[in-house]
Amino acid sequence: MPASSPRPAIAVLCERATDRPPGLDDLPVDFRYCAADGLGAAVRGAQALMLWDFFSTAVRDVWADAGSLEWIHVTAAGVDTLLFDELRDSAVVVTNAHGVFDRPIAEYVLGAVIAHAKDSRRSFDLQRGHEWQHRETRSILGAKALIVGTGAIGRATARLLRAAGLEVRGAGRLAQPVDPEPGDQGRGGQGQGELRRGDPDFGVVVASGNLSAQVGWADHVVLAAPLTEATRALVDAEVLAAMRPGTHIVNVARGPIVDETALLAALGTGRIAATLDVFDTEPLPAGHPLWDAPNVTITAHMSGDVIGWRDTLAAQFAANVRRWLAGEPLLNVVDKKLGYIPTGDR
């Protein structure tokens, strides 16, 4: 923040100019609230920008007007819709909502795992048909979950699933070395048997770049990785074909991490099931074939959105504004080249 500016300007991009984040009025800042069509004027001369409309791609369109920006804050965990080459190469700092969504998304995943094991979709269908059908369902105790993405959300999910009795592994950008018991060559000769040491949350972390060799271990494959060039279409036809029959996919990451065409084909065979919170196109179009695909549960990109989440996001931003005004380092700084906060090998 320039020392000569007692009241710096911060542009706030909202879906609608009247849809403003709460709790910012007491900050000694001139906030410029706008929708996308007014962003160019709002960022002109502004030192910072808050993306309350966190999926907007409008910043790229007004970059020529943003010469005074020092800092952009995105009120989301993922920053894939914001980043573009000129921003990556600039000195503008990008921060995100790291930490806000970890526990809520972990709870969503646990709920999806339980609902799948207890055949809840079938129970709802039977209820609508007024049909009484006694069935046996699975226990989640001892089920295996491979969590793709070893950042904060993946770790929170791993801890909760472990607490519920599942066996968990992670898949990240880099595999982590493990120390097997003496004489143990591990499953498949890969040194992944009973471990003396390993990751505190995942136990074993395998390389996500070799996902087709890893997914056959899992009953549940949870996608919690950021969307980058390395993870785009990571779950493709080869990975889907390598899954064991009955595997359940939970996607709380980004839609393009999964090859949607290949997923539809795999669902159509009845070999796998899926709980999907994110999609290539959002909102999911009414005529999209995923709506009627077998063994799929669809939610509207809401896995992290618990009651009060907007207040939490605004309070997190306000705390960072106070640090910025005081000249203190900002929290939750994103590595713009990687596309996420490098807290783990994702």
- Strand 167-172 relative to strand 144-148, pairing: parallel
CB 190 within 8 A of CB 177: no
**H-helix or E-strand containing 127?**
helix 120-128
CB 237 within 8 A of CB 265: yes
- Strand 9-13 relative to strand 48-51, pairing: parallel
Distance CA 314, CA 311 (A): 5
The confidence score (pLDDT) of residue 17 equals 82
Distance CA 74, CA 94 (A): 8
DSSP 261-321: HHHHHHHHTTS-EEEES--SSSSPPTT-GGGG-TTEEE--S-TT--TTHHHHHHHHHHHHH
CATH class of 9-100+307-325: alpha beta
Place of tokens 């970890």: 102
Each residue's pLDDT expressed in tens, for the chain with a length of 346 residues: 444 557 999 999 999 988 999 999 999 999 999 999 999 999 999 999 999 999 999 999 999 999 999 999 999 999 999 999 999 999 999 999 999 999 999 999 999 999 999 999 999 999 999 999 999 999 999 999 999 999 999 999 999 999 999 999 999 998 987 665 555 444 444 444 444 358 999 999 999 999 999 999 999 999 999 999 999 999 999 999 999 999 999 999 999 999 999 999 999 999 999 999 999 999 999 999 999 999 999 999 999 999 999 999 999 999 999 999 999 999 999 999 999 998 755 5
Rg (CA), the chain: 22
What are the tokens at 226?
Answer: 């950021």
The confidence score (pLDDT) of residue 344 equals 54
Q: How far apart are the first and last CA of the chain?
A: 32
The confidence score (pLDDT) of residue 313 equals 98
The confidence score (pLDDT) of residue 72 equals 98
CB 77 within 8 A of CB 96: yes
Distance CA 80, CA 78 (A): 6
The confidence score (pLDDT) of residue 18 equals 87
**H-helix or E-strand containing 144?**
strand 144-148
DSSP 40-108: HHHHTT-SEEEESSTT--HHHHTGGG-TT--EEEESSS--TTT--HHHHTSS-EEE--TTTSHHHHHHH
Distance CA 315, CA 310 (A): 9
The correct CATH number of 102-298 out of 3.10.20.740, 2.40.50.100, 3.40.50.720, 1.10.3720.10 is: 3.40.50.720
Per DSSP, the chain holds a count of helices (H) and strands (E) of: 9, 14
Distance CA 69, CA 67 (A): 6
Q: Is the pTM value of this prediction over 0.85?
A: yes
Q: Where are the domains of the chain?
A: 9-100+307-325, 102-298
Do 102-298 and 9-100+307-325 fall under one CATH topology? yes
